[in-house]
Amino acid sequence: MTPIIRALLAFAVSLVRSRASLQVEILALQHQLAVYHRSIRRPRVCPSDRIFWSWLSRGWSRWREVVVFVQPATVIAWQRQRFREHWARLSRTGRPGRPAITKEVRELIREVSGANPRWGSPRIQGELRKLGIAVAKSTIEKYRVRLRRPPSPSWRAFLKNHLTELVALDFFTVPTVGFKVLFVLIVLAHERRRVVHFNVTEHPTAQWTAQQLVEAFPWGTAPKYLLRDRDAVYGDWFQRRIRNLGFDQILAAPRSPWQNAYVQRLIGSIRRECLDHVMIVSDNHLWRLLASYFQYYHRWRTHLSLAMDCPEPRPVLPPDQGAVVEVPEVGGLHHHYERMAA
- What's the 3-state SS for 306-332? HCCECCCCCCCCCHHHCEEEEEEEHHH
Q: How far apart are CA 247 and CA 252, in angstroms?
A: 15
41: confidence class by pLDDT, cuts 50, 70, 90: low
pLDDT, residue 8, reads 58
> Is the CB of residue 319 less than 8 Å from the CB of residue 313?
no
Q: Which range has highest mean pLDDT (28-42, 149-163, 231-245)?
A: 231-245
pLDDT, residue 327, reads 93
The distance from CA 334 to its chain's CA centroid, rounded to whole angstroms, is 21
Task: Summarize pLDDT for 6-34 with one digit per residue, the tens.
Answer: 565 666 666 655 666 656 566 555 655 66
Coil, helix or strand at residue 15: coil
- The CATH 3.30.420.10 domain(s) of the chain lie at 163-306
Least reliable range by pLDDT among 91-105, 234-248, 301-315: 91-105
CATH C-level class of 163-306? alpha beta
pLDDT, residue 10, reads 63
pLDDT, residue 265, reads 94
Segment 165-181 shows an average pLDDT of 93
What count of other Cβ atoms lies within 10 Å of the Cβ of residue 324? 19
Alpha-carbon distance values, 120 to 59, 126, 207, 213 (Å): 65, 10, 41, 34
The model carries a pTM of 0.59
Nearest Cα neighbor of 260 from 304, 227, 212 is 227
Does position 301 have pLDDT exceeding 50, yes or no?
yes
Task: Summarize pLDDT for 220-248 with one digit per residue, the tens.
Answer: 788 888 999 999 899 888 888 888 888 88
271 φ, ψ (degrees, to nearest 5)? -70, -50
pLDDT, residue 335, reads 94
Helix or strand holding residue 81 (H, E): helix 72-91
Bridge-partner residues for 173, per DSSP?
A: 183
Burial of 253: CB neighbours in 10 Å, binned 0-12, 13-18, 19+:
exposed
Nearest Cα neighbor of 174 from 154, 204, 196 is 204
191: confidence class by pLDDT, cuts 50, 70, 90: confident
> Is the CB of residue 262 less than 8 Å from the CB of residue 158?
no
Does position 124 have pLDDT exceeding 70, yes or no?
yes
Q: What is the mean pLDDT of the chain?
A: 81
Nearest Cα neighbor of 155 from 293, 227, 257, 255 is 257
Does position 158 have pLDDT exceeding 50, yes or no?
no
